Amino acid sequence: MNRRTLLRVSAGAAAGLIAGVRPALAADAEIEITPKEAGPEISPHLYGHFIEHLGGVIYDGIWVGRQSKIANIDGIRKQFVDDMKRIGAPNYRWPGGCFADGYHWRDGIGATAKRPRTYNYWQASMPAGLDHTETNAFGIHEFIHLCRLTGAEPYLAANMGSGSPQEFHDWVSYCNAPAGTVSLAGERAGNGDKEPFGVRWWGIGNESWGCGGDMTPQEYATLYRRYVTQFPAYDPKPYLVAVGPRGHSKDLDLGWTNGFFAAMQDGHRSRVDGLSLHYYTDFRNSPEKVASFDARGWYDVLREALRTETVIEQHWEVMGKYDTGRRTRLIVDEWGVWYKPGEETTPAHLLSQPLTLRDALHTAITFDVFNRHADKIAMANVAQTINCIHSLFLAQGDRYVRTPVYHVFELYRSHMRAKLGAMRIRCPELKVPSRNSPGVIPGLSGSASVQGRTLNVTLTNPSHESPVSARIRVTAGSVTEGRGLALTHADMTAGNTFDRPSEVRPSPLPVKVGADGAEVTLPARSVVSLELRMTA
Ligand code: AHR
């Protein structure tokens, strides 16, 4: 079981195939990379973030308060700032999520002590006895400060569920009107920020088919037009993101994408720059646990990561029927593995999960899919960065730890702004067990990118028991130097905890450099990142 038994040509999903019959292989896997076929730029925004007023994400996670004994910069947890800088965080989507459609931005400005306590969408899910009313201590100024401290761009979600176009347009003016123009710019200056925030990314609602208003795609399209037609025309030119499908639905929710674009064609076409796609590896209705599982659970989760590719391709195809000029791109602004409740790191941190190496491999597979579709996706945001679902960090009071997922962001950083390279993988498929339907998955998946003379290669070996030797051939130029890092662990259920924060972390991987390429052995259950220096 779980051995590479098929000799069929396999590839990391769409990483490309080397056609023909399998020749005698010197290694388990043959990888061919053509740096000269460099494709689209891999936007840093594919490695983006999502932070919502939910459980312990903002309060206790990011915001510890100005008076806190925990190291902070103006109330923002310092360790968080340092780590987000380290991984080059490109953006944050805020304030939700479901929270956004109940949020009134004016509640979060002005003297903190005078800000109202308001209802938070998530307080109904809070365990009895725990308060989750919104203090509004973290509002737009604090959010923009976080963005500036970490060098990330803001991505704001409008309140469509309980707000109005007027309230939204006022928020846009408050954020972007130049000093000395409208009164809202003066009010912003009075609250400490004379210079405009320069917000470019605007989400018009969130999950309007669900918590964002329970609308049909036609109803949403009508409201969308009202939100965007009177959008105040300040710099920068806005990037308008419409609510898209619930990609983790059984039918992938293609009906939403069809319905929305059909409604927008009906003689009223407003600009749509991005279509938000949510795709959770959704195990909320499965007995699968976060931190204790067997080989079946290991592969079931990784298979769902591979399905990201199908979801992207199918929605892209539908969009192309209406948007023949390809003006609209996908924004995968919520993704991650979502397990059933019961293993929260602390009860108040709703939806927090003690993630493991399995979730790190899921992350790597997902990133390689995003890279390979860099021409279709303008942004992607992990749900959520800290203390919630697919987090990079867990924090409680003065305790703080990086999860295995964080390390994948670190390992993939070199792809940001690089050009996608053509990669073909030949590797026997892997026969895998499952709770429901055993099947086969690619024996290896990955992506490659080029920046100057550096070739970045990321690969995932999903086998929980066997290493894979791989020979990498570069079709143009030659490799002069190679460095590698691998994220793995002897135990597939390993994770990092407050007491053992470095249990899962990358370690150097030997790379053998030859005339036309390199050779590496990927440990079982590993994510590998290679940096190969090339001749001109
Ligand atoms: O990320 C948690 C929730 O998942 C978000 O608030 C919502 O948009 C989605 O359903």
**For 4-41, what is each residue's pLDDT tens digit?**
433 322 333 334 333 333 344 568 999 999 986 668 99
Residue 230 has pLDDT above 50, yes or no: yes
Q: Kindly give the pairing relationship between strand 48-50 and strand 72-73.
A: unpaired
DSSP 153: E
At residue 323, the pLDDT reads 93
Q: What are phi and psi of 468, to 5 degrees?
A: -130, 125
383 lines ligand 1 (CB under 6 A): yes
At residue 426, the pLDDT reads 96
Query: Does residue 334 carry a catalytic annotation?
Result: yes
Which run of H or E residues covers position 222?
helix 217-229
C-alpha 231/C-alpha 172 separation (Å) is: 8
Residue nearest to atom 1 of ligand 1 (CA): 383
Q: Pick the range with the lowest mean pLDDT from 169-183, 257-271, 335-349, 410-424.
A: 257-271
Closest ligand 1 atom to residue 351 Cα is 2
At residue 183, the pLDDT reads 98
Residues 6+ apart with CB under 8 A from 424: 11, 15, 16, 17, 18, 31, 32, 33
Q: Give tens-digit pLDDT for 460-519.
A: 999 999 999 999 999 988 999 999 999 999 999 999 999 999 999 999 999 999 877 999
C-alpha 293/C-alpha 238 separation (Å) is: 45
Residue 409 has pLDDT above 90, yes or no: yes
Query: Does residue 187 carry a catalytic annotation?
Result: no
344 lines ligand 1 (CB under 6 A): no
Residue nearest to atom 9 of ligand 1 (CA): 97
Residue 315 identity (one-letter amino acid)? H
Residue 269: which pLDDT band, with cuts at 50, 70 and 90?
confident
pTM of the full structure:
0.95
At residue 185, the pLDDT reads 98
448 beta partners: 421, 457
At residue 39, the pLDDT reads 85
Q: Give tens-digit pLDDT for 102-161.
A: 999 999 999 999 999 999 999 999 999 998 899 999 999 999 999 999 999 999 999 999
Closest ligand 1 atom to residue 98 Cα is 6
Residue nearest to atom 5 of ligand 1 (CA): 97
Closest ligand 1 atom to residue 96 Cα is 6
Whether the Cβ atoms of residue 454 and residue 416 lie closer than 8 Å to each other: no
Q: How many CB atoms lie within 10 A of CB 36?
A: 12
Q: Give tens-digit pLDDT for 198-209.
A: 999 999 999 999
∠ CA 51-104-386, nearest 5°, is 10
Q: For residues 164-175, b (16+ Cβ closer than 10 Å) or e, as one string?
A: ebeebbbbbbbb
Q: Calculate the average pLDDT of the chain.
A: 94
391 lines ligand 1 (CB under 6 A): no
DSSP 249: S
Q: For residues 392-402, b (16+ Cβ closer than 10 Å) or e, as one string?
A: bbbbbeeebbb
Residue nearest to atom 2 of ligand 1 (CA): 97
384 lines ligand 1 (CB under 6 A): yes
C-alpha 149/C-alpha 319 separation (Å) is: 37
Query: How far does Cα 517 stand from its chain's mean position?
Result: 31
